[in-house]
């Protein structure tokens, strides 16, 4: 139960942290309103299913290979999280996607949302670098554990994405005039990545 509570906490923190998916949702919500924002959330969630499948297959394959391979996946993921945190904190730049975004059909908004999340490193690192910390081989089918944890994360992310969409559509005019607000979120994102990387690195050896 404690592991599940920690997983939910980590999922909530990562889900609310600004990243490519959140930026896309905010952009669509600001430029096209709540309908496009809702559709973009659905697209992002659909793209997340690809990561769930990849995690289920990848973690299972690593575990099947050896305990060493399983640990390599975990600690390589922890190192990547730490590196991403440092890079996020030290990279400067003001995103202008909100300013230059053009209206799109709802069908394209959905399709682009799928692509954005399939290629989203933030989502990928959660499933491949952090999710393995909560897989316990001795407690049942590993792919099923990955699928259930992944589905839980997607549900949490969909709820937080919807909140971002509603907030952005309601404050669209203000956000269009303050693009640096989005840029400042890198400090939050970088801190979250560093914390997750340290947690993964210090979580101990693989569960036998």
In tens digits, the chain (208 residues) has pLDDT values of 667 888 888 888 888 877 778 888 888 888 788 899 999 999 999 999 988 888 888 765 665 566 666 666 667 666 766 776 787 678 765 444 444 556 778 999 999 999 888 887 778 777 877 787 787 777 778 788 888 999 999 999 999 999 989 988 877 656 555 556 555 556 666 676 677 667 666 654 444 4
Q: What is the pTM of this model?
A: 0.69
Q: Using CA atoms, how far apart are residues 105 and 182, in angstroms rounded to an integer?
A: 24
In a 10 Å sphere around its CB, with 0-12 CB exposed, 13-18 middle and 19+ buried, how is residue 168 labelled? buried
Positive or negative, the CA dihedral 158, 159, 160, 161 is positive
Of the candidates 38, 62, 190, the one whose C-alpha atom is nearest the C-alpha of residue 135 is: 62
């Amino acid at each position: 139960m404690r592991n599940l509570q920690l997983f939910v906490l980590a999922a909530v923190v990562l889900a609310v942290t600004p990243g490519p998916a959140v930026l896309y949702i905010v952009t669509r919500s600001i430029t096209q309103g709540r309908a496009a924002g809702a559709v973009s959330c659905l697209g992002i969630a659909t793209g997340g299913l690809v990561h769930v499948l990849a995690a289920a297959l990848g973690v299972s394959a690593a575990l099947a290979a050896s305990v060493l391979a399983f640990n390599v996946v975990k600690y390589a993921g922890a190192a990547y999280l730490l590196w991403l945190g440092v890079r996020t904190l030290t990279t400067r730049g003001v995103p202008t996607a909100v300013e230059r975004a053009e209206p799109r059909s709802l069908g394209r908004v959905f399709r682009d949302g799928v692509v954005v999340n399939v290629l989203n490193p933030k989502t990928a690192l959660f499933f491949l670098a952090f999710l393995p910390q909560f897989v316990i081989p001795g407690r049942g089918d590993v792919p099923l554990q990955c699928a259930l944890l992944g589905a839980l994360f997607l549900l949490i992310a969909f709820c937080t994405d919807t909140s971002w969409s509603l907030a952005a559509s309601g404050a669209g005019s203000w956000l269009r005039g303050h693009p640096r607000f989005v840029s400042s979120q890198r400090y939050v994102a970088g801190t979250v990545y560093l914390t997750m990387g340290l947690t993964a690195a210090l979580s101990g050896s693989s569960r036998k």
